[in-house]
Amino acid sequence: MTTETSGTSTAAAELRSQGLRATVARLAILETVRARPHLRAEEIAALARGHVGAVSTQAVYEALNALTDAGLLRRIEPAGSPARYEGRVGDDHHHLVCRGCAAITDVDCVQGEAPCLEPVHNAGYQVQQADVIFWGVCPQCQRTRVHR
């Protein structure tokens, strides 16, 4: 099933430009992640089901993989946490992760242009991206002393 409503026509065009079919489920997943970044696949599935009805967990994972492979979504994997997804792609930003509640916040590049950080020795690699995760305690957890 495909859709062409005015609210999703841009997202549908983006999917098609990457060689993907613009199914109702893919559109719902893409729009969900863009509206609410840093969600886990299970959270995305629940929200997408609220928009389109039945969609299997396997279909959600397959859509997330396809959208990530196409460069429409980004997967981040903080240590000790399941993969999270976001729609902010192409700018090589970084993340702050709270040790208390696991909230994730985007932060712009540390310095310079992407990939932001240059390794002292690149071992012959052509560096394309730097994934930096800053760990700390968010303001809410500081107030409630949830952190360690």
The domain that contains 17 carries what CATH number? 1.10.10.10
Mark whether 131 and 107 lie in a shared domain.
yes
- Give every CB contact of residue 9 below 8 A, 6+ residues apart in sequence: none
Domain limits at 139? 91-144
- Structure confidence at residue 90 as a pLDDT band (50, 70, 90): confident
Please give the Cα distance from 37 to 61 (Å, whole number).
Answer: 16
What value does the mean pLDDT take over residues 99-116? 80
Q: How many folded domains does the chain comprise?
A: 2
Q: What is the pLDDT of residues 7-64, one digit of tens each?
A: 468 999 999 999 999 999 999 999 999 999 999 999 999 999 998 989 999 999 999 9
Tell me if 37 is assigned to some domain: yes
How long is the chain? 148
Mark whether 26 and 62 lie in a shared domain.
yes
